[in-house]
């Protein structure tokens, strides 16, 4: 598997150059959006974390 990451030398360590993707400004969540987010946090924590890390929580 080929890795397309770039690294920066910091002393004896190689630190990966990671950047977060820019999310468009999301409109405030309504009642059902907040309820869905809370449900995912409490009952589907793995899916919630996956969506947050991939930047897909608000489009979901």
Q: For residue 4, is it within any domain?
A: no
C-alpha dihedral over 44, 22, 17, 53, to 10 degrees? 0
Give residue 56's domain range: 24-60
pLDDT for 24: 63
pTM equals 0.57
Mean pLDDT value across residues 25-45: 90
Residue-averaged pLDDT of the chain: 86
Q: Could you tell me if residue 11 is inside a domain?
A: no
Lowest model confidence (mean pLDDT) among 6-10, 25-29, 34-38, 41-45:
25-29
Domain tally, the chain = 1
Q: Would you say residue 54 lies in a domain?
A: yes
Tell me the three-class secondary structure of the chain, residue by residue: CCCCCCEEEECCEEEECCCCCCCCCCCCCCHHHHHHHHHHHHHCHHHHHHHHHHCCCCCC
């Amino acid at each position: 598997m080929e890795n397309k990451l770039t690294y920066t030398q910091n002393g004896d360590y190689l630190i990966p150059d990671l950047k977060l993707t820019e999310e468009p400004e999301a409109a405030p969540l309504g009642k059902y959006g907040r309820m869905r987010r809370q449900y995912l946090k409490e009952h589907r924590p793995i899916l919630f974390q996956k969506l947050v890390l991939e930047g897909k929580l608000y489009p979901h």
